[in-house]
Amino acid sequence: QVQLQESGPGLVKPSETLSLTCAVSGGSVSDINWWSWVRQSPRKGLEWIGEMSPSGTANYDPSFMGRVTISMDISKNQFSLKLISVTAADTAVYYCARHVAVPRTRGFDYWGPGTLVTASS
């Protein structure tokens, strides 16, 4: 059974960097699935942040471009999110998720439980 677990600070000061890690168990991050970060806030709902391929290629939503980096650590079987220059608008529950591996389809079949990150001084 695949499981994902987000971890990282729950409180980040404005202008600083948000760093989260998603530990994957029951599967390998370098197998065939892609992986994503999604956040959810009352103001914006569900927002896709970006994705990473099993080979390490990343794609980002244009609204986060320039502020976001997604990376992978195969040795630890995890992938990470870094978001720089955070503001109060980045306060949200952050989820990591696995993409369905069926070709030419879309959907995220496994999600972590989510972690609340608050941007506040």
Partner 1 sequence: VLTQSPGTLSLSPGERATLSCRASQSVRSTYLAWYQQKPGQAPRLLIYGGSIRATGIPDRFSGGGSGTDFTLTISRLEPEDFAVYYCQQQYAVSRPYTFGQGTKLEIK
Read off φ and ψ for residue 90, nearest 5 degrees.
-90, 0
d(CA 21, CA 109): 19
Q: Is residue 58 a contact residue for partner 1 (CB under 8 A)? A: no
Q: Is residue 61 a contact residue for partner 1 (CB under 8 A)? A: yes
Q: Is residue 107 a contact residue for partner 1 (CB under 8 A)? A: yes
The stretch near partner 1 (CB under 8 A) out of 7-15, 25-33, 43-51, 74-82 is: 43-51
The partner residues of 82 in beta bridges, in order of sequence, read 19, 69
Whose Cβ is closer to partner 1: residue 15's or residue 63's?
Answer: 63
**Total residues binding partner 1 (CB under 8 A):** 23
Q: Is residue 59 a contact residue for partner 1 (CB under 8 A)? A: yes
Please tell me the chain's helix, strand, coil percentages from 3-state DSSP, rounded to the nearest 5: 5, 50, 40
d(CA 52, CA 22): 12
Interface residues with partner 1 (CB under 8 A) are 36, 45-48, 51, 59, 61-62, 95, 97, 100, 102, 104-109, 111-114
